[in-house]
A and B are shown apart, each in its own frame.
Chain A
């Protein structure tokens, strides 16, 4: 944990037509952090995640990953940089024409580094990491339940041994039990693999259980980046509503009971 920024956003400006979503947004995420990005609907959380991945380009400002500009260097450098992070999309985004095992093996096969037997063992390993059975490798994505899709997609995101994991609404659509299990899973992976994690979430339970820091996106910028306790002290109408509304209070009291 040497405090090196993995993700560094400087002066990000995003516009959709005449709608200004981000205006001079700054954010630094250091190695080993689990940062939860929270904000109201339409405040541009997912858009910010897409800027980090490089799927969209902000109208202004700079995105730096691992200390390098997102679009710096040759194509080779850019691809190598992209292989250092894994993304879990909101709907999983598993390739529906491929089985779960093929989905997980796909990025490794593209890289062309593993033999057939190694590939099979790696798929079994990634499945075990996300608490799935080897036999699940033969299922098609259409045959999976919501929780299984998330886990299979997480296994695929882990295929290239990423240093940075980006999760878009990892627990949306899961029942409380499943979502708690998924949170435990991510936390244990974070501990074992030393990942840096950025997640977008609406769920106070998830972020209370998982995040080491909370980045609050409001008023078109990050108004606070701090651990939960300090975030709760910040006097901002959104934070007050989000954490200290009825649901938020319940979630926080559950967390305090558990600790």
Chain B
């Protein structure tokens, strides 16, 4: 115990009569091994004792703080103390009690302040979001007038990152959802002998509703968080300030390529995921209801009006635009610390998914009379 360092002596105190004799090393390293015992002994020391430091080898500020607290923050009778040890304790004395903890109580007024703060916060978010949206539109106008400035390389790199690289995971999830949806529906349809309606259910459900929403949730978690984190770290490392200092618009070079890329890539991802989900649905229907692939493909266009595909794809584009814009909005609000980065990344993903579902509801109402077979 504590003997690993050469010459280390465990801290010991001996009480005899009115005198407390300290020996050994009163340092953090030596004390931490025997701390419980030392604390008990310190507590048991008589109040008016004389403290003999004659045999103390080393004393550091931790040991001094321990003694100072045991003494009740005042000097007792001390003998045999070396000058440098006395200085250590004097330093503790000088700063002890100067750090007053800030206590915070949560009262009724704080609740009102908190609520008001949250509302104002929401307002600043809304204003900044609209401003970012407006800036993007201005950038597009600028680019239409100066076609040579299109950040094509960034857009293409982003399409690859958010689109092509997302294909495996969206396919896997889409396929499994298709299988599950089809299997559960087939069980019910079999009871009514309405087997062939499986094509209607899968076609309408996946192409119009499930495909776009499913892809949006995946993309918000996958690419939205990545965009927020990337912009956030660029804020932390002052890269965005460096861009501004070069007179390069951060929205034009950083935000616009991401937003455009995701707006372009999302409909394609929706098409891809919906197709794979339909395939999964067919596999399940084939196993469960013995439905042939030829029949499935033939029936699909007759029972699902083509308008549903257009609705699904345009939903994809709108959702992609929103996810990217929300991700960039939160990314640009990151302050240079790790906590802010995590708060904003979380907020980005949660807001994006909530927004997608809200807008999906708006879509459902707006398109309620389009593409639904009556």
Residues in A lying within 8 Å of B, measured CB to CB: 4, 66-68, 77, 80-81, 83-84, 95-97, 101, 111, 113-115, 117-118, 120-129, 134, 137-138, 140-142, 160-161, 192-193
Contacts and interface: CB of A to CB of B under 8 A. Distances in A.
Contacts of B99: 101, 120-121, 123-124, 127, 134, 137
A120 B97 CA distance: 8
Given A68-B4, A114-B65, A161-B28, 16 more contacts: A66-B5, A67-B6, A81-B4, A83-B29, A84-B5, A97-B338, A113-B35, A113-B62, A115-B69, A117-B69, A121-B96, A122-B62, A122-B65, A124-B98, A128-B91, A134-B99
Contacts of A111: 28, 32
Interface string B197-237: 00000000000000000000000000000000000000000
A113 B27 CA distance: 12
B337 A142 contact: yes
Contacts of A122: 61-62, 65
B335 interface: yes
Given A80-B4, A101-B99, A113-B62, A121 B338 contact: no
A34 B174 CA distance: 64
Interface residues of B, number: 34
A138 to B, nearest CB: 6
B102 interface: yes
Contacts of A160: 28
26 contacts: A68-B4, A77-B4, A80-B4, A83-B29, A96-B338, A97-B337, A115-B69, A118-B69, A120-B99, A121-B68, A121-B96, A121-B99, A122-B61, A124-B97, A124-B98, A124-B99, A125-B92, A127-B99, A128-B91, A138-B102, A141-B337, A161-B27, A161-B28, A161-B61, A161-B62, A193-B60
B255 to A, nearest CB: 24
A137 B29 CA distance: 25
B43 to A, nearest CB: 12
A141 B92 CA distance: 25
A164 B102 CA distance: 34
Interface in B51-109: 60-62, 65-66, 68-69, 84, 87, 91-92, 94-102
Contacts of B338: 95-97
A129 B95 CA distance: 10
Contact of B101 (A83, A84, A120, A142): A120
B28 A121 contact: no
A95 B338 CA distance: 8
Given A77-B4, A96-B338, A117-B69, A134 B60 contact: no
A127 B4 contact: no
| 5 nearest A-B residue pairs (beta carbon) | A96-B337, A97-B339, A124-B99, A124-B95, A161-B60
A122 B92 CA distance: 8
Contacts of A134: 95, 98-100
B28 A118 contact: no
Interface in B251-285: none
B10 to A, nearest CB: 14
Given A97-B338, A125-B92, A193-B60, A118 B65 contact: yes
B358 to A, nearest CB: 32
Contacts of A118: 65-66, 69
Nearest to B101: A120
A131 B31 CA distance: 27
B336 interface: yes
Nearest to A115: B69
Contact of B95 (A84, A101, A128, A142): A128
Given A113-B35, A142-B337, A161 B96 contact: no
A218 B28 CA distance: 38
B4 to A, nearest CB: 7
B257 to A, nearest CB: 29
Nearest to B68: A121
Contact of A125 (B4, B87, B95, B337): B95
B258 to A, nearest CB: 26
A231 B97 CA distance: 47
Nearest to B335: A142
> Could you say which of A66, A77, A96, A134 has the most chain B C-beta atoms within 10 Å of its C-beta?
A96
A154 to B, nearest CB: 14
B325 to A, nearest CB: 27
Nearest to A121: B96
A227 to B, nearest CB: 25
Contacts of A129: 91
Given A121-B69, A160-B28, A161-B61, A140 B102 contact: no
A127 B66 contact: no
A126 B64 CA distance: 13
Contact of A161 (B29, B69, B336): B29
B66 A125 contact: no
A127 B102 contact: no
A85 B95 CA distance: 24
A130 to B, nearest CB: 12
B324 to A, nearest CB: 27
Contacts of B87: 192
B341 to A, nearest CB: 9
A181 to B, nearest CB: 19
Contacts of B4: 68, 77, 80-81
Contacts of B29: 80, 83-84, 161
B305 to A, nearest CB: 53
Given A96-B339, A97-B339, A125-B91, A113 B28 contact: yes
